């Protein structure tokens, strides 16, 4: 069976890229796997790609590429939805390349990995292939306009797969998709061969894009409270992003220059987590929480905000990590202080975190996808009937409109 993933840009850095590569490698044990990258901005991907997985770039946006001289690269996209936040990076050229690729790729299963790319899949994907939309964002974080656009196209697909049960429930409740399977499958995170943390390092680590939604400002504020009691501990934040200067200014304002550091990106991140005793997540929202599982893989307990939607489905509060209210500086600082003060608890939680992380082994998650493929293939006709009945009801059984009373 040939399985193709459609991804925004496999040459970049991000959680969707990491989990797509993890799943592609696991599926490559039994299938031919290809990743079609809508964009390419550098020579080689930043993350390692399993040699059994083929990468096909569709539009090369490097300044010296042939595509950079194509006038269609500067014409607005007509298929990619304008309400999608990546719209400005898409063009008529990406529309045409995606359409051509989907028509000729010969895949048995095609999996899209972000909303706008899933619209390509719905509009241009071959009907003979199973077409699956993965949602690495969340239903409720999409704008109302984008949700309406997605609803029109997602109902033509075979399945919508979210990373959390809470998000799957949201799709079932808020987006009517007759004949479309909606289910949650968590991201996969492979085990690392790095020795797990021993809980003795006086280091708190954090990682992610340096954007306001990740709330590294809240973490820095909370860490300032921590240092008042434990000045020998340090905070290391890994990542790049638009919020870097603001966060550095906050560090300077707290006089934390010797204790808190914006380190920049590291790939892989696990060696850095293994040198910490606590990993902190202060986000306002997480669609899943790759950082949490990656830290657990290193035997490090995570202190995270209980934000929608992922952390509470990963962390068992008080067993393998801690959950604190969103935006609560004191609660975040107190949870960090509790673990700092108790090395035995850190070690115990770290071991429990290792056990929890096994739920995200790529092998079992790949088998879940294999089972999904078989189920979708077997239910094609029954799901098509569901669609036809729903369409018939919507056309001929709409409730009568009642005008204003006279």
List Cβ<8 Å contacts ≥24 apart for 55-64.
55/10, 56/101, 57/11, 58/94, 58/97, 58/98, 58/101, 59/91, 59/93, 59/94, 59/97
Phi, psi of 260 (to 5 degrees): -115, 130
> Phi first, then psi: what are they for 326, rounded to 5°?
-65, 135
Rounded to whole angstroms, what are the CA distances from 4 to 150, 364, 366?
A: 21, 19, 14
Q: pLDDT class for 400, splitting at 50, 70, 90?
A: very low
pLDDT tens string 88-121 = 999 999 999 999 999 999 999 999 999 999 999 9
Contact call for residues 360 and 343 (beta carbons, < 8 A): no
Structure tokens of 284?
């306002």
Taking residue 24's Cβ as centre, other Cβ atoms within 10 Å add up to: 27
Q: Is 71 exposed, middle or buried (0-12, 13-18, 19+ CB in 10 A)?
A: exposed
Lowest mean pLDDT across 24-28, 72-76, 307-311: 307-311
- CA neighbor of 299 nearest in space, from 282, 318, 319, 278: 278
State pLDDT tens for residues 237-282: 999 999 999 999 999 999 999 999 999 999 889 999 999 999 999 9
pLDDT at residue 397 is higher than 90: no
- Does the structure show a pLDDT above 50 at 394? yes
Mean of per-residue pLDDT scores for the chain:
95
Residue 19 and residue 60: Cα distance in Å, rounded? 23
Helices (H), 142-284: 144-154, 165-174, 216-227, 244-253, 270-273
> What is the pLDDT at residue 4?
98
Whether 220 and 336 have beta carbons less than 8 Å apart is answered as: no
Contact 132, 107 (CB under 8 A): no
Closest CA to 6 of 92, 93, 164, 124: 124
Would you call 83 exposed, middle or buried from its count of C-beta atoms within 10 A (0-12, 13-18, 19+)? middle
| Long-range contact pairs involving 57-66 (C-beta distance under 8 Å, separation at least 24) | 57/11, 58/94, 58/97, 58/98, 58/101, 59/91, 59/93, 59/94, 59/97
Q: Where, residue-wise, is CATH 3.40.50.2000 in the chain? A: 2-184, 203-360
Which residue is it, tokens 């006709």? 381
> Model confidence over 172-222: pLDDT tens digits?
999 999 999 999 999 999 999 999 999 999 999 999 999 999 999 999 999
At 234, is the secondary structure helix, strand, or coil? Answer: strand
- How many other β-carbons are positioned within 10 Å of the β-carbon of residue 237? 24
Predicted pLDDT of residue 110: 98
Quote the pLDDT of residue 398. Answer: 54
pLDDT for residue 405 is more than 60: no
The counts of H helices and E strands in the chain are 14, 13
Task: Provide φ and ψ at 245, rounded to 5°.
Answer: -65, -40
> What crossing angle do the helices spanning 244-253 and 216-227 adopt, rounded to 10°?
20
Assign domain 203-360 to its CATH architecture: 3-Layer(aba) Sandwich (3.40)
Q: Which residue has the tokens 């204003």?
A: 404
pTM, two decimals, is 0.91
Q: Does domain 2-184 have CATH number 3.40.50.2000?
A: yes
pLDDT at 391: 79
Residue 402 pLDDT = 40
């Amino acid at each position: 069976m040939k399985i193709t993933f459609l991804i925004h840009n496999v040459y970049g850095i991000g959680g969707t890229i990491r989990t797509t590569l993890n799943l592609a490698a696991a599926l490559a044990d039994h299938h031919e796997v290809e990743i079609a990258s809508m964009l390419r901005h550098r020579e080689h991907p930043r993350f390692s790609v399993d040699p059994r997985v083929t990468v096909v770039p569709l539009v090369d946006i490097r300044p010296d590429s042939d595509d950079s001289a194509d006038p269609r690269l500067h014409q607005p996209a007509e298929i990619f939805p304008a309400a999608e936040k990546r719209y400005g990076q898409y063009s008529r050229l990406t529309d045409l390349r995606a359409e051509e690729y989907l028509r000729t790729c010969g895949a048995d299963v095609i999996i899209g990995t972000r909303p706008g790319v899933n619209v390509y899949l719905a509009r241009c994907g071959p009907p003979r292939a199973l077409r699956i939309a993965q949602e690495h964002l969340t239903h409720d974080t999409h704008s109302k306009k984008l949700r309406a656009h997605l609803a029109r196209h997602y109902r033509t697909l075979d399945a919508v797969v979210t990373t959390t049960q809470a998000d799957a429930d949201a799709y079932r409740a808020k987006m009517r998709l007759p004949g479309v399977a909606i289910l949650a499958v968590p991201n996969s995170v492979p085990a690392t061969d790095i020795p797990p943390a021993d809980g003795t390092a006086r280091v708190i680590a954090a990682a992610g894009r340096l954007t306001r939604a990740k709330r590294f400002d809240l973490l820095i504020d909370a860490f300032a409270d921590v240092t008042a009691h434990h000045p020998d501990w340090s905070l290391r934040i890994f990542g790049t992003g638009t919020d870097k200067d603001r966060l550095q200014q906050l560090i300077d304002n707290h006089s934390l220059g010797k204790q808190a550091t914006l380190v920049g990106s590291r790939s892989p991140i696990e060696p850095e987590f293994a040198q910490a005793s606590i990993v902190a997540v202060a986000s306002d929202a997480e669609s899943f929480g790759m950082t949490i599982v990656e830290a657990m893989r290193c035997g490090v307990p995570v202190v995270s905000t209980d934000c929608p939607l992922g952390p509470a489905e990963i962390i068992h509060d008080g067993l393998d990590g801690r959950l604190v209210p969103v935006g609560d500086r004191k609660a975040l600082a107190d949870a960090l202080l509790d673990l700092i003060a108790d090395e035995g608890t850190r070690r115990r939680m770290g071991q429990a975190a290792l056990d929890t992380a096994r739920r995200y082994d790529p092998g079992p998650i790949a088998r879940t996808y294999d089972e999904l493929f078989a189920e979708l293939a077997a239910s094609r006709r029954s799901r098509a009937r569901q669609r036809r009945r729903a369409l018939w009801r919507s056309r001929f059984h709409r409730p009568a409109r009642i005008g204003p009373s006279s």
